[in-house]
Structure 1
Amino acid sequence: MTSESVRSQRSTAWTGRSRGGELLFLVCAALVPRAGIIGVWLGSFVIAAGFLVIGGRKQYGILSYWWRLRPRCSRWTLLVTLWRHYASFGRVLCDRLLFILSPQRYRLESTGIEHAIGLMRQRRGFIFLSAHHGNWEIAPLLIQRGISEAQSQAAARGEPAAIAPPVVHIVMIQGDLPAIQRFSDRHRGNWPVRFHDPRNALGTAVELAAALGRGEIVCLLGDRVHADQPAVAGRFLGRLARFPAGPFQTALLTGAPILPAFMTKTGLGGYRLEVDPPWTVRAASRADRQAAVAAAAQRWARRLELQVRRYPFQWHNFFDFFTPSAESPRR
C-alpha cells in the first residue's frame, strides 16, 4: 500500500440528482405503498432488466468491481450478476421511500449503537463513517430510534434523560429535483441537520472541525472522491483504489473518533444497523501525519472490503473505484 496522497484527476458524473425526473418519482411515491415489500421485490427485477437493456451494462464502473470479485465468471454469468445488482439498488431506493411512509412494515435491529450513545453522553463529537452500502440514507432514522429508546430506559430507571439530540452534519450534494428534495426534507426526522457540499473541500473541513469541537455528529461516506477532493490510495479487493482523505484528516486534526457504520438489508422487510467500536487517527509528529492518514484509510479499506465481500450485491457505488491515478499516486 502506498502512503502518498492522491487527487482525483477528473470529476465523476455524479450531480446529486435522481434519474427519471419528478414525474417518475411521483408515480413511484403513489405505487410503492400499494405494491408493498413483496411487490417492490418482484418489480425490482423487471425494472433492472429494462435498465440493463437501455445501457446499464456500460454505465458507471460496476464492471471493474465484479471483475475484482469474480475474475473467472463468464459473460453470461456477469450479465445476470449485473441484473441482480441493479435490482438490489432498485429495492433499496423503494425501501427508502416505503420506510419513510410506512416504517411499521420493517423489522429493524441494531448492533453496536451503544458506542454512539456512550460518546453522546460524554458530549463528545464523533464521525459516523459509512459507504454506499445497503440503505445508508435511512440509518439516521434508526439511530434516532435507538437514542429515543435509551432515553425511555433512563427515565424508567429514574435517571435524567441525559441525551439531548445533537446537531447532525451530513456531507452530501443536495442537487435533487425540487419535488424530491422537498419530500426528503419533510421526512428527515426531528434532529437538527446541517448539510455540507463535499465539492467545497476547504470550507466544509473548517465547518466540520468546528462542529466536532462542539460535540456534534458528522456523517461521512468513505467510498467516493468528488472532483478535486484530496484522496489517498489504499488496497481494496486486491488492487489500489482511491479513498477520500477528508474523514481521516478531520479525525487526525480534531481528535474525534471514527465509528464505521453500515445499514445492511437482512431480508424482505429487515434491516440491521451495524456500528463498530470507535477508533482514532493519531500521528506522533507533523511529519507522520501523511502516514497516519494513509494507515487509517487502509484500515477503513479493509473494513469496507469485509462488508462488500459479505454482502456483494449491496454495495451501490457504481462509479469506477479502480483508476490509473491510484496506481501512480502523486503529491
Structure 2
Amino acid sequence: MSWTRERERGGAALRLMAWIARRMGWRVSHALLYPVTAWFMLSAPARQREAMRRFQRRALGREPGWPDLWRPYFVFAATMLDRVYLLQGRTEGFEIAVSGLEALDAHIAKGAGCVLLGAHLGSFESMRTLADRGCPVEVMAFMYEANARLANAVFSALSPEKAERVVALGRADSMLRAKECLERGGLVGILADRRPAVGEDRVVPVPFLGQPAPLPAGPHILAAVLGAPVMLAFGLWKGPRRYEIRFEEFAERVVLRRAAREADLRDSVLRYAARLEAVACEHPANWFNFYDFWEEMGEAAASAPAAVPEAAVGRRAVLALPAAAPLSLPASAQAGGLEGVMAALAAVRRSEADFTESKEIAGLADTLPSSGTLLWEAPSTLEKQVVEPFRERVVVSGDRLVYERPARGERQEVNLDQAPEVRALVEAIRSTLAGDLATLRRHYEVSFEGALPAWTVVLHPLSARVRAVVQRVEVRGEGGAIRWFQTVGNESSVMRVTPRP
C-alpha cells in the first residue's frame, strides 16, 4: 500500500477552520482543536490507528496508550491551524527557536545554494517563516501534490505569493527549476521520507526503528545531480505556537560514484534514516505519516479503513463507531410514509443484528470489509462490536461515547455535550433507531422516499460544521427493518445489516 493512493480528507473542514481562524482568532480556533481531534481519532479507520500504534510502539519502546495515539492527531491539527497564520505573516504570539542557522548562513554566503532534506515530521511551514524574516536568498519547496490538492488549494488562497514558491515534483520542469534556484544561491527544500508519488517508484529499504522501511531514493539522487551542499531541516512543534527549527549538516555533496553507485546511494539513505529515527523518537507526537510506513501490514492485515483520519478525515462512515446502527424492527408498519416508518422503529425496544461494512479506503484499489454485531436498547444505548479484522467495541449511551479495544487494554470516553458535532453524527444513527423524528429534525433536514414495504430516509445536516464532515446520511429499509446505512462526505461507508430473529 502506498500513501499516494490515500484519499485526501477534510477539505471542507479545513476551509471552515481557516475561516474561523481568520475571523475569530487563534484562541477560539485552538479550543476547537479538541473536539476536532476527538472526531478524527474516533472516525479513523482501524488500519490507520494500527499503523500509528506500530510507529509509537517502536519509537516509545513500550505499548502506546490512548494519550500517545491522541498526540500526533492533535499536533497535526495544531500545525494546520498555525499554518493559516504563518502563511499570512501573522507571527505575533509565536515563539520560534532556531539552531544550526550559522551553518546554513555559511552555505548561503558561498553562493552555491543548499538542498534541505526534511520529513513529514512537524511543520515545514514554520521553517518558511525564516524567509519572511529576511532570508537573503530565494527559498523554494518541492513536493508531491497529488495527495493534498484540497489542502493546497485552501492554503494557496491564503497566500498566493508563497504558493508560487512551491513546485510540484514529477513535472517536466521540476529539475530545471530546482537547478535554477540553486544557481541563484537559493535554498531547495524536499521532504525525503515517503515513497515517490510519481515517476519511478524507486526506494531503498533501510532499517528504521528496528524494521526495514522503504525510503525514497529520489531526493538523494536529485541532491547528487544538483551538486549542492545538503542539510537536514526539521520544524518541530513544542507546544501551542511554539516551534524549534533545526538545521543539521548532512553532506558537502551527495556523491554517487559510477563504480559504487548503489552502495553510495544506500549509505546516503541510511544516514538520513538514522537522523530521522533519532528526531522521531525524541518528538514522536510530530510524526505525521498516518499510514503503513513500513509497508508490512498488507491488505489482509488491514481489513479496516485508512483514509479518515481518515473518516477522520476521505470517504467513509462518519463515526468509526456504529457507522450503521441498524437493527431488527417489527414487520408491522401500520401507517404509511415517514411517520409510519418512525412509528415502526420506535416500537423496537431491543434488537440485535449482524453487519458487514464496506469502506472506501484511499490506500487500496478495493474497499475494505469489516463485520460484527450491533445491539440497540431503547431509549439511548447503541453498541457496535467489530469482530473482523480485529476486535473493537463502541458504545453510545445517553451523553457518553466509549471506545474500547480489549486486546490492547485501550479505552477512551467522550462527553457528547462537549462535542456537538459528534453528537449530531451519533443522533443520525441513534435517533433513527429510536424513531425520534423530533430529534432528527433538530440536526437534519429529513426527506423520505418510496413507500412501504421499501423505503429510504435521507438526512442532510443543518449545521455547517457537520456539513464539513458529512453531506448526506441515507437509511434504507424493508417493512419494519433497516437493511442499509450509508454516510457520504469526506469519506464514505456502506453497512449492510441482517437482523437476528
TM (normalized to structure 1)?
0.76
Determine the C-alpha separation between the residues in 2 that align with 1:184 and 1:301. Answer: 34
- Residues 182, 222 of structure 1: CA spacing in aligned structure 2 closer, same or farther, 3 A cutoff? closer
Paired residues of 2:220 and 2:254 also in contact (CA < 8 A):
no
The corresponding residue for 1:156 is: none
How far off its partner does 1:237 sit? 0.6
- Cα displacement (A) at 1:196: 2.7
Relative to structure 1, the CA distance from residue 100 to residue 206 in structure 2 (aligned partners, 3 Å threshold; closer, same or farther) is closer
Q: 2:283 aligns with which of 297, 303, 311?
A: 311
Partner letter of residue 120 of structure 1?
I
4+ residue runs of structure 1 moved beyond 6 angstroms? none
> In the alignment, what sits opposite 2:178?
208
1:176 matched residue in structure 2 = 149
Cα shift at 1:267: 2.4
Deviation of the 1:135 alpha carbon: 1.0
Report the counterpart of residue 408 of structure 2 in structure 1.
none
Once the two structures are TM-superposed, the CA of residue 54 in structure 1 deviates from its matched residue by 1.5
- More RCO (CA 8 Å, sep 6+): 1
Rounded to whole Å, the distance in 2 between the matches of 1:145 and 1:172 is: 26
Change in 2 beyond 3 A, CA 1:237/1:45: same
Q: Could you say what secondary structure the match of 2:116 adopts?
A: strand
Partner of 1:53: 42
- CA distance in 2: counterparts of 1:88 and 1:133, whole angstroms: 10
- From 25, 28, 43, give the equivalent of 2:14: 25
Structure-2 residue corresponding to 1:65: 55
Q: Which deviates more from structure 2 when the two are superposed, residues 225-234 or residues 274-283?
A: 274-283
| In 2: Cα distance, 1:278 partner to 1:59 partner | 32
Distance between the aligned counterparts of 1:319 and 1:114, measured in 2?
A: 35
Corresponding position: 1:219 with 2:189: yes
Q: 2:124 aligns with which of 119, 130, 136?
A: 136
Deviations 1:54-110 (A, max 9, x none): 22443373232123224642xxx5333222221111111111113334311211221
Moved more, 80-89 or 166-175: 166-175
Query: Residues of 2 paired with 1:167 and 1:98: CA distance?
Result: 19
**Residue among 101, 116, 127 paired with 2:115:** 127
Q: CA RMSD in A?
A: 3.0
Match of 1:321, SS state, is coil
Equivalents in 2 of 1:283, 1:29: separation in Å?
A: 43
Distance in 2 of aligned mates of 1:197 and 1:136: 16
Which of 83, 95, 102 aligns to 1:96? It is: 83
Higher strand share: 2
Q: What corresponds to 1:186 in structure 2?
A: 160
CA–CA separation in structure 2 for the residues paired with 1:285 and 1:135: 34
Q: Distance in 2 between matches of 1:311 and 1:10?
A: 24
Return the index of the structure with the highest Cα Rg: 2
Report the Cα distance in structure 1 between the residues aligned to 2:189 and 2:126, rounded to whole angstroms: 12
Question: For 1:92 and 1:48, how far apart are their aligned partners in 2?
Answer: 12
The structure with the greater share of residues assigned to helix is 1
Which residue matches 1:234? 206
How far apart are residue 37 of structure 1 and its match? 4.4
CA distance in 2, matches of 1:237, 1:262: 18
Unaligned runs of 5+ in 2: 298-501
